[in-house]
Structure 1
Amino acid sequence: MVLFNKPFDVLSQFTDRGSPTPRRTLSDYIDLPGVYPAGRLDRDSEGLLLLTDDGRLQARIADPRFKLPKTYLVQVEGLPDDAALDRLRTGITLADGPTRPAAVEAIEPPALWPRDPPIRYRAAIPDSWLRLTIREGRNRQVRRMTAAVGHPTLRLVRWRIGDWSLDDLAPGAWQLA
């Protein structure tokens, strides 16, 4: 098992097909034959990505029916009140159907690495941080959930998948687990 801290603006795949301008991929960081991502993390998201050479383990990690918890540190626009957090805790109805309930709490800004490029700062609109755990993994789900309660995501860092955690792994770094 490989734990990788995927930087912002990196594709969760080893090749970039069809783009007129080359984009950074996993092959810019990981030179291990035969490992593949167990799930994905959007190009504009950061954090923990697991890679394995075990197809069964890959399916167990990525398949939502196994309900493996995934924890994100989420910087959102605005200051979510208890009602917004309760909506996330009970599940949100998105265009593709209702989500499972999420575990969510407001947190102090975490000690993270600077993002490149930085998040746009707007003096008139405050931001805040949430720790949000889901047990499914739809396309851009966390971003859609926070937007649905009126607090668009500004920065998204996946911190944990099941028992695997980012801990002190620097952006662009990987380690064997």
Structure 2
Amino acid sequence: MKPAYFIAAAFAGALLPSAAFAQDATPAEVTLGVTAGYHDLGISDEVYDLTGVEVDDGSPIFGGFASVDFPVSDSIFIGAEGNLSIGTDAIDSDYGASARLGYRTQNGTKVYVRGGYQWVELDYANMLNVDKSAIPAGLDDTVGDYLVGGGVDVPIGSKAMFRVNVDTISFDTLRATAGVGFRF
């Protein structure tokens, strides 16, 4: 397990106790949920142009998130979020942390922008459609860079929500996810 997994897990775990403590001062909203989506690395054309080799540079992803939001006013909130996803093709996993700034409507819908850092663990064998033994041992397969994006959380009843996010990592990739969460 990579050290960055522990960083992302520790960040997500740290959100919950700090959010519970902060509720004494202002009501915070903690959300835990699951997501599914697609992460396109956006490198297939460049690799083909440079090498003539076709690569599969996208992957379905499945994972979860933990977030905490604090009200700044009746309609503005700030927050933090941690995420972890497992991929099936070109991506073994991706994980990261981000800060959120958004607007909460009267019905509870949250529209937000976010920025943070995301790590992506690549599966070179799947990308190149070769056996794992063809990939040199010890080759670094984890890359990371800043993440920017936005999303919408729509309430479903009093505790559940549906969410959609679209993000990019350093304006090179496209990562779209949808999921459900439960607020505490």
Sort the TM-score into its range (normalised by shorter chain). Answer: under 0.3
Kindly name which structure, 1 or 2, has the bigger radius of gyration based on alpha carbons: 2
Kindly indicate whether structure 1 or structure 2 has the higher relative contact order, using CA contacts under 8 Å at least 6 residues apart: 1
